[in-house]
Amino acid sequence: MSKNIYRHQTLAAALMIFAALIGLGAIHSQGISNPYEDTTDGRDLPKDTIAGNRISIDTGMEIKNFQAAVVDSNNTKWFVTEQGIVSYNGDKWVLHNKNKKVTTQDMKGFAYEINPNGLELWIASPKGATVASLPIDGRTGATTYHTENTTILSNNVLRVAIGKSPMRWFGTDKGISAFRDSKWLTPAYDELYPADMFEEFRITSMATSPDGDSLYVGTEGAGVVRVNRNDVDAISGASVYAKWGPIKLPSDKIYSTFIAADGTQWFGTDKGIARHTGNLTLNNWTVFTTKDGIADNFVQAITADQTGKIWIGTKKGISVFDGTSWTSFTMDAGLNSNNIQCIAADKTGVVWFGTYNGVISYENGDFTGYR
């Protein structure tokens, strides 16, 4: 995988959801991008496994599709790919496919957690929710939680969110499950909202408020479901964010969700990105589209860098918001691909982008392509 450096030139359905999960908790999360592939820029990655400025992932192994990203406390970057989990510590790339307890197929996303047992990744897959100790080699521990050993609603886990440890949330094709310490919380919304609702309106993304008290769940067709911790040690739901009524979502199909450090909520849809500030559900909404300067209306990934700038990944490039205006970048600026599937900002200020054709980083005005 070669490395090239470039410099740039300067909620259909109207739903009201009330959920209760008996327990106490708080969250923070990272999700995977939407599943639709765009191969219009599909240049193959070379099967190069030599070190230096090239990827090292196992001899002869081809990796192309980087679908989700997190950064751990050691500033190591972790990615979900079609071949399994890949990490990059700044010196070398490693494919973590030696642990038989960790799936390498059809992973939907992951989240990073620090707990007394050490550093862990929680992985969402059709086999359940797997927690694996880092660095995920042939000897590290891993446990998969599924319907046969827990009360999780379904084995088909689509998203996972981690906030204030030890609270974990799992979005499945039959609804939302939660796990705190060694206890699975009991969902109490099933009479009003049966499992087939989430089968119809698939969970696509999850994120939490800075204090971990609110979970925001993006769906494909039902907008954004909000789940909150209440004062009686239970989890209660609130009305959904949807495009009907005065709420200004451009679409009920939500493909990315991000909550900034100041509590500002960002929702990426197939028709633009919505920003919501403050605590009043019906007020303070702003929608940005290509007319405002974003690269494309299909927004697949969102994050913030250390300076507070908002970065979004679309099907047609990268855009960054400085609080006033948007600046966009495409393959013309040196990107490996315009199809940006995930974004993560590391501890040194570098922003990392997973694409359908490798990885891109951005630092001090430079784009670096890894492929």
pLDDT bin (cut points 50, 70, 90) of residue 25 is very low
Least confident of 95-99, 239-243, 286-290, 309-313: 239-243
**pLDDT, position 61:** 73
Provide the CATH number for the domain around residue 216.
2.130.10.10
Q: Average of pLDDT values for 14-41?
A: 39
Q: Over the stretch 180-233, which tens digit does the pLDDT of each residue have?
A: 778 887 776 666 567 788 899 999 999 988 777 678 999 999 889 887 765 544
Encode the chain in three state secondary structure: CCEEEEECCCCCCCCECCCEEECCCCCCECCCCCCCCCCCCCCCCCCCCCCCCCCCCCCCCCCCCEEEEEECCCCCEEEEECCEEEEECCCCEEEECCCCCCCCCCCCEEEEEEECCEEEEEEEECCEEEEEECCCCCCCCEEEECCCCCCCCCCCEEEEEECCCCEEEEEECCEEEEEECCEECCECCCCCCCHHHHHHCCEEEEEECCCCCEEEEEEECCCEEEEEECCCCEEEEEEEECCCCCCCCCCCEEEEEEECCCCCEEEEECCEEEEECCCCCCCCEEEECHHHCCCCCCEEEEEECCCCCEEEEECCEEEEECCCCEEEECHHHCCCCCCEEEEEECCCCCEEEEECCEEEEEECCEEEEEC
Q: Is the pLDDT of residue 277 over 60?
A: yes
* pTM for the structure as a whole: 0.84
Q: How many domains does the chain have?
A: 1
pLDDT bin (cut points 50, 70, 90) of residue 36 is very low
Structural domain including 95 reads: 3-370
**pLDDT, position 178:** 84
Least confident of 65-74, 111-120, 256-265, 340-349: 111-120
